[in-house]
Chain A
């Protein structure tokens, strides 16, 4: 195994630019030295970090351990046995997709599998959350939620890009989450295109800003209460409009608009909301959820008053909603569906766990990087996947449900195969990526719901993105595969490792080898066969999901 690993590396080194990125990614070249003994690389189970640390000192590893104790206790109460942990390759692919938005490089997969250190999982996760891709991926994820971009509208896409850039800068610097939210809500500066984009994407309408911000930032679905008292919860129509009143005085300063310039968001000293159909009625005064009416102040705008309330250390919603959202993104479903101020969340099964993690998140200084790292270090996150995403083990977080890759994750993963890695630049606008993402976007916010279409399947089967991934002329990987000293068996293994992060199963090996043999020695035919491999793998269900 060790020998083969070196050989694969040499091949990649021959890939020129690709090699440079590989070496950078894996650190000093001394790491390339062969390990002393053959190791059971792939298929080994992930070492549980929790076994090695005994006290809860607020570090990601110790909080992860506490989380696992609670998760397992709840599972036992429900009569559910925790499933086994996923193997190394699966874990690394999962964490890389969730934290960096892209599949790992072959070299990272091999390194990780070969690493004997008990701390390797913690080290890999730490590296992921500190990579530039972490900030990019997180910004994409949040911008998607804050701005409904699937309306296909050009202006809306521009808004999303503006907000994404603004968020990425903050996530890269790991700005405290409460500060990010505060800045988003109160910003007026024309230079801060991000927040302006958020307000203009919702057309500066109090009800839209209220519905979106309460759902995403506070974890509360108030939307229904817009038109009538909420049928399933205690929220009244006056709760919604009291909250919406905080946005009633937001205005765009059109005097600041100029070609290429950003809209400036300002606060008027006038503007009220009233109940729908009651234009002549009393204005609804601003009132935070579950709180008292706030008097208008000459020092603070209504937005500032709302942002101050949200960012209070003991605000019952903000931290919990953030924890719940990150948990949902990484484990498929939230710990709870609805956040309640008094901790009696719905459903109640994992309510206490949510509160514990939220407290630790607040104690850690609203540190999003810490939060991602902590969740990634739990055993709950590292369990083997189950296709039964509605089963009791999946609901108890002791088996991982499969989640479809987002359009961005899929594009970035395919382009990691297609081109030399060093040209991957998520910062520069890429029309091909944009076109792919528009066609392949998922609907809705539920990570477990599969909402693909036949037309999306056609994009994968015949579209230019997969074609570019698979064609030898464009593909860095197929170029590497043609290196003369690899056996066909090794070529097949490499192409599986690069795409799915695992070697082929026996039957796969057999069918793929047979195909390569059948095309004979003609170099063009062999190149075509290798591109057929990449096409089939790129189109596989295993590739399309994080599992």
Chain B
């Protein structure tokens, strides 16, 4: 895209359509796009972000140190990739390690939950004048719209006290994710998942809603006549989309009762497991971006005390949900077109504290990419024997997010325009080439 000289950059941004600026000039992206065109593969994949609230322990999951005093009580086990080893409590993922690219060398600076969460989810430390969107909101807007009137971005079981880093920021409310609330079952039952306000209120059945809709249609046609553009038509259009979502086949996507007990149990009965099952149903129906949070309603991965027992339990929950999700996507031929990122806000201290847990640690931690677009079967970067420092392949959060974007087929240098006509890239960093398939 050649920039015309006769108009200002501001005008150019405005007129280039929705404030998006086309391809970046960095070397890898055109190659990627060409490769995609040559293979006939859809250049843009669907995305799943598995958010590990609280900050998971890298030393007890994907970067174990069995020969060091910092290693702790959990055992390491082989995966289906020679030389790549995970915790023994991640057996399903271990069998699919060839589709996983582990990053063991993230270095960040934020050690406070709220600030680190904002950094990990936006690529920017908090405090600036710009209200940065979560990476999920940025990327969802770049992917093809779903069928069936489903929302383009669905967030399942998000943290109860989500602060910065979860919303659309300067992208505006239109890019807010549809929130699916998850409630743990009282006893041994399945967690229940519901979209806020998707159900008719009490006392209003389908027939009564049809009456209401007729009255509403009358008001709309008298007021709007045949307008199809402008703010008034947008308001009308969003209401119609919402009604379609309430009534159409979209609704069926959220009905987990349609799945067999065997499948539901394989994912795990909790919020995360059932959330991963819902994620699979949504990916099948073309939803471009799904987030599932593990540990958002309680302490989650914030295991300061009695850490090994907690991490074992959380690992099993993670492995059942995510491992089954990968298996089911693969058996449906969807894993190649779906990219997964599993990340929390920071890692845990290698040194085990007096309470048998680990504390916040941003100096050297891990995350995992998986599925389509990812060069699996490898661990990128490494930490010292005691786990205290990164010795090889140091990366920033922004680089991780750029790699996620690139694996999806989105140029991370794509710009959106914040207030004051400021062009803002999806990620300021370059992707890690070695992790891209």
Contact = CB atoms under 8 A, between A and B. Distances in A.
Most central of A208, A452, A455, A460 by chain B CB within 10 Å: A455
Nearest to A456: B173
B244 to A, nearest CB: 9
Nearest to B199: A462
Contacts of B129: 207-208, 211-212, 223, 226
A182 interface: no
Interface stretch (A12-20, A48-56, A438-446): A438-446
B208 A540 contact: no
Interface in A169-204: 203
A297 interface: no
Contacts of B178: 454-455
Contacts of A453: 173-176, 238
Interface stretch (B40-48, B162-170, B294-302, B384-392): B162-170
A537 to B, nearest CB: 7
B208 A532 contact: yes
A221 B173 CA distance: 23
A443 B171 contact: yes
A487 interface: no
Nearest to B114: A153
Nearest to B176: A453
B80 interface: no
A328 to B, nearest CB: 14
Given A223-B129, A456-B173, A450 B234 contact: yes
Contacts of B168: 443
Contacts of A154: 161, 163
Contacts of A211: 129
Interface string B177-221: 011000000000000000111111101000010011011101110
Contacts of B331: none
Q: How large is the interface on B (under 10, 10 to 19, 20 to 34, 35 or more residues)?
A: 35 or more
Interface stretch (A118-126, A357-365, A507-515): A507-515
Given A211-B129, A467-B201, A542-B223, A451 B173 contact: yes
Contacts of A456: 173, 238
Contacts of A442: 172-173
Contacts of A512: 215, 218
A454 B235 contact: no
Contacts of B54: none
Contact of A536 (B195, B212, B232): B212
Interface in A204-236: 205, 207-208, 211-212, 215, 221, 223-224, 226, 231-232
Contacts of B127: 203, 205, 208
Interface string A509-531: 00110010000000000001100
B163 A444 contact: no
Nearest to B179: A455
Contacts of B200: 462
Contacts of A431: none
Interface string B11-26: 0000000000000000
A401 to B, nearest CB: 8
Interface string B145-167: 00000010000000001111011
A16 to B, nearest CB: 25
A407 to B, nearest CB: 10
Contacts of A151: 131, 163-164, 167
Contact of A457 (B167, B203, B239): B239
Contact of A515 (B197, B211, B235, B239): B211
Contact of B232 (A224, A402, A441): A402
Nearest to A547: B232
Contact of B223 (A148, A203, A541): A541
Contact of A540 (B179, B201, B216): B216
A389 interface: yes
Contacts of A450: 230-231, 234-235
Given A224-B422, A442-B173, A541-B220, A387 B230 contact: yes
A80 interface: no
Contact of B238 (A150, A452, A529): A452
B222 A459 contact: no
B131 A444 contact: no
Contacts of A284: none
B201 to A, nearest CB: 5
Contacts of B422: 223-224
A387 B197 CA distance: 30
Contacts of A207: 129
A208 B176 CA distance: 25
B245 interface: yes
Contacts of B8: 231-232
B231 A536 contact: no
B167 A536 contact: no
A463 B162 CA distance: 21
Contact of A389 (B197, B208, B219, B231): B231
Contact of B222 (A223, A404, A508): A508
Contact of A464 (B10, B201, B216): B201
A403 B208 CA distance: 31
Interface string B112-147: 000000000000000111010000000000000000
B241 A454 contact: yes
A532 B213 CA distance: 9
A269 interface: no
A532 B205 CA distance: 12
A280 interface: no
B371 to A, nearest CB: 27
B246 interface: yes
B235 A458 contact: no
Contact of B174 (A451, A460, A464): A451
B418 to A, nearest CB: 9
A248 to B, nearest CB: 16
Contacts of A203: 127
A232 B12 CA distance: 12
B4 interface: no
Contacts of B214: 511, 515
B109 interface: no
Contacts of A268: none
Interface string A285-327: 0000000000000000000000000000000000000000000
Nearest to B195: A458
Interface string A251-272: 0000000000000000000000
A215 B422 CA distance: 14
A545 B212 contact: no
A203 B125 CA distance: 13
Contacts of B218: 507-508, 511-512, 536
Interface string A95-126: 00000000000000000000000000000000
B227 interface: yes
B27 interface: no
Contact of B419 (A445, A451, A459): A445
A281 interface: no
B77 interface: no
Given A443-B168, A508-B218, A458 B231 contact: no
A205 B200 CA distance: 46
B63 to A, nearest CB: 32
B224 interface: yes
4 shortest interchain CB distances as A-B pairs? A443-B172, A457-B242, A450-B231, A536-B215
15 contacts: A207-B129, A211-B129, A404-B235, A455-B197, A456-B238, A457-B242, A467-B201, A532-B215, A533-B215, A540-B223, A541-B232, A541-B235, A541-B236, A541-B239, A542-B219
Given A208-B127, A443-B173, A540-B216, 12 more contacts: A223-B420, A231-B9, A232-B9, A387-B227, A462-B201, A511-B214, A535-B212, A536-B215, A541-B219, A541-B224, A544-B235, A545-B231
Interface of A: 148, 150-154, 203, 205, 207-208, 211-212, 215, 221, 223-224, 226, 231-232, 387-389, 402-404, 441-445, 448-464, 467, 471, 505, 507-508, 511-512, 515, 528-529, 532-533, 535-537, 539-542, 544-545
